[in-house]
């Protein structure tokens, strides 16, 4: 038996096929680019569709085993609006797109932050879909013409099965989904001139949507009996694929941005959650809820450091056939520096979510080396995440283990710093693709191959390496974090 996870992201899509023990049987990927300028960030849904179908065609041709079921994970917030003929009406606005800021302020003035939080579990912010829906309704005819409005998860599911079903974890990114009733909020959608009927039916992750349409199975060369199962928001799928099933653990996904996902004791919508931009979102396990901490600049800030500080070294090391990050790890491992960095280079995550923040570097001298600045960027990401984590602990959220996933988790130095800053065990998994692993678990659950998600996790998710806090470094980072907190208080909202 074989089960697949398809992950549709901002910059590409990928598929991985596993057996029930978590052994990777096949994988492939495609890349594409976002579009836009002057604060607008967009994704062309037709481009995404072309790459996804091409990827599935390759899988049908090259995967060595027939796939029994597949679930889809996708980027959050962005939607695909289609007309009565299934044609895409407009590009999909991405998280970070500047549109929706005034509309968010109007939503707050009209309904109040607390009311919106109680319904949706989300502190009002322009990064979610509803303010962008209102912008579309005011400035275009897209909302009026849209027969169906999808997230990328249910859009792919609809293309493959003809059925409209969306997971709770994707629907909740709209800021128009009632997380307690598990249904669309007609009250909120009406503010954008929308109706619940335009959206897919919300379902629990792991619910079977249907089998492939016969013509799609023939076109793609896939198993005609393959089931499509409800997946979810990519970050929630990654948490599941990391093995998160109780409050003793949490998952942090180190990609372009970094998200740390932690289980809440229940649905919480207090003013404290709003003050710190802590969401409350449905998780994959029945009647469970997550909150998330976000650093909006993670991999993208490392890339900035690479291009700005080490362009000369990059070419030199490439010529010598030496991997850039491997060489850089050698230079920063064990290094101590007085340089401090606030990592909000253009945007900021918790506890003060902002799409127009500015970063800070301090502690520089004429003797400061590029690797010290780069190390300060890496440390700053850990400090920023820990700042929000400290505030979250007052709600009784205090996990013992951090599971690190995503591209950034490949760095031993980064994970050791994280262990020392948080003074907690950090682990890296054998399987680096936790998003597709989470989808595989859901697909297998939907097909009846696992009795429960917890049983699937215990069978398929395995630890590769553990990083334990070093007492001396814990003390060093505690002192440096104290300076970081002071710098943050002084500078985080300086423009």
pLDDT digits (tens, 9 = 90+) for 427-483: 999 988 899 999 999 999 999 999 999 999 999 999 999 999 999 999 999 999 999
pLDDT per residue as tens digits for the range 288-317 = 999 999 998 888 899 999 999 998 888 888
- Read off the pLDDT band of 271 (50, 70, 90): very high
When pLDDT is averaged across residues 120-135 and rounded to a whole number, the result is 95
The CB-side HSE value for 319 (13 A sphere, CA atoms) comes to 6
Helix (H, G, I), strand (E, B) or coil at 276: coil
Sequence length of the chain is 495
Which pLDDT score is estimated for 94? 92
pLDDT at 27 over 80: yes
Partner residues linked to 14 by β-bridges: 7, 29
Query: What DSSP designation does 212 have?
Result: P
Please state, for a pLDDT cut of 90, what percent of the chain lies above it: 83
Q: What is the mean pLDDT of the chain?
A: 94
Q: What is the pLDDT of residue 495?
A: 61
- Average pLDDT of the segment spanning 37-58: 95
- Find the mean pLDDT for residues 172-193: 97
In this prediction, residue 232 has a pLDDT band, given cuts at 50, 70 and 90, of very high
Beta strands in 89-238 (DSSP E): 92-93, 148-151, 165-167, 177-178, 183-184, 201-203, 208-211, 227-233
- The pLDDT confidence band at residue 201, using thresholds 50, 70 and 90, is very high
Phi, psi of 274 (to 5 degrees): -65, -45
Residue 422: predicted pLDDT: 98
Please report the pLDDT score of residue 55 as a whole number.
Answer: 98
Q: Which residues sit opposite 203 in a β-bridge?
A: 167
What 216-224 contacts at long range (C-beta under 8 Å, 24+ apart), as own/partner pairs, is 216/159, 216/160, 219/53, 219/57, 220/53, 220/56, 220/57, 220/59, 220/60, 221/57, 221/60, 221/61, 222/56, 222/59, 222/60, 222/67, 223/66, 223/67, 223/68
Q: Could you tell me the two tokens for 153?
A: 């998860």
pLDDT at 353 over 80: no
Lowest mean pLDDT among 99-103, 229-233, 344-348: 344-348
Whole-angstrom Cα distance, residue 236 to residue 384? 21
Residue 322: pLDDT band (50, 70, 90) is: confident
Q: Quick one: how far is CA 280 from the chain centroid?
A: 15
DSSP classification of residue 192: T
Quote the DSSP letter at residue 348: B
User: Which of helix, strand or coil describes residue 444?
Assistant: helix
With contact defined as beta carbons under 8 Å apart, do 177 and 168 qualify?
yes
Mean pLDDT of 94-113: 92
* pLDDT for residue 286: 87
In the predicted structure, residue 29 carries a pLDDT above the cut 70: yes
Question: Does residue 50 contact residue 15 with C-beta atoms inside 8 Å?
Answer: no
pLDDT of residue 23: 97
Q: What is the pLDDT of residue 492?
A: 84
Q: Which of 408, 401, 467, 464 is nearest to 431 (CA)?
A: 464
First to last CA, the chain: 56
Considering only CA atoms, which of 108, 289, 86 is closest in space to residue 191?
Answer: 108
Q: Is the pTM of this model over 0.75?
A: yes
**pLDDT (tens digit per residue) in 253-265:** 998 889 899 999 9
Q: How buried is residue 111: exposed, middle or buried, by Cβ count under 10 Å (0-12/13-18/19+)?
A: middle
Question: Which residue has better confidence, 39 or 488?
Answer: 488
pLDDT of residue 355: 72
The burial of 66, by beta-carbon neighbours within 10 Å (0-12 exposed, 13-18 middle, 19 or more buried), is given as: middle
């Amino acid at each position: 038996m074989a089960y697949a996870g398809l992950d549709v992201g901002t910059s590409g899509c990928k598929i991985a096929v596993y057996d029930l023990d978590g052994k990777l049987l096949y994988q492939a990927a495609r890349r594409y680019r976002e579009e836009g300028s002057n604060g607008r960030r967009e994704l062309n849904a037709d481009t995404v569709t072309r790459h996804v179908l091409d990827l599935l065609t390759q899988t049908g041709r090259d995967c060595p085993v027939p796939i029994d079921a597949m679930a889809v994970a996708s980027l959050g917030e962005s939607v695909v609006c289609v007309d009565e003929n299934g044609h895409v009406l407009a590009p999909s606005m991405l998280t970070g797109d500047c549109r929706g800021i005034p509309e968010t302020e109007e939503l707050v003035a009209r309904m109040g932050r607390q009311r919106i939080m109680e319904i949706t579990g989300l502190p009002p912010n322009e990064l979610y879909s509803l303010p962008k829906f209102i912008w579309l309704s005011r400035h275009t005819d897209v909302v009026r013409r849209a027969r169906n409005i999808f997230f990328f998860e249910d859009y792919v599911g609809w293309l493959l099965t003809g059925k409209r079903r969306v997971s709770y974890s994707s629907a909740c990114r709209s800021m128009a989904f009632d997380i307690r009733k598990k249904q669309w909020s007609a009250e909120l959608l009406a503010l954008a001139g929308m109706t619940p009927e335009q959206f897919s039916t919300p379902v629990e992750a792991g619910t079977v949507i249907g089998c492939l349409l016969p013509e799609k199975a023939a076109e793609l060369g896939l198993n005609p009996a393959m089931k499509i199962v409800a997946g979810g928001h990519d970050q929630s799928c990654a948490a599941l694929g990391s093995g998160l099933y109780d409050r003793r653990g949490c998952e942090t996904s180190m990609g372009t941005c970094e998200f740390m996902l932690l289980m809440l004791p229940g649905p919480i919508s207090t003013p404290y959650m709003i003050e710190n931009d802590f969401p409350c979102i449905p998780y994959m396990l029945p009647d469970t809820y997550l909150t998330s901490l976000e650093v909006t600049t993670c991999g993208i800030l490392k890339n900035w450091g690479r291009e700005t500080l080490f362009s000369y070294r990059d070419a030199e090391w490439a010529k010598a056939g030496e991997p850039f990050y491997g060489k850089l790890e050698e230079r920063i491992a064990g290094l101590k520096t007085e340089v401090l960095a606030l990592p909000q280079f253009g945007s900021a995550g918790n506890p003060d979510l902002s799409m127009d923040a500015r970063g800070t570097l301090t502690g520089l001298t004429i003797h400061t080396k590029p690797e010290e600045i780069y190390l300060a960027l890496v440390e700053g990401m850990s400090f920023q995440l820990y700042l929000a984590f400290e505030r979250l602990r007052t709600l009784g959220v205090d996990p013992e283990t951090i599971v690190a996933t995503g591209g950034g988790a490949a760095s031993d130095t980064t994970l050791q710093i994280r262990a020392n800053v948080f003074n907690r065990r950090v682990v890296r998994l054998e399987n680096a693709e936790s998003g597709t692993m989470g989808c595989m678990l859901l697909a297998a659950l939907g097909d009846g191959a696992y009795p429960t998600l917890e049983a699937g996790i215990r069978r398929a998710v395995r630890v590769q390496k553990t990083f334990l806090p070093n007492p001396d470094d814990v003390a060093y980072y505690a002192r440096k974090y104290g300076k970081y907190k002071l710098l943050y208080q002084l500078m985080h909202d300086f423009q």
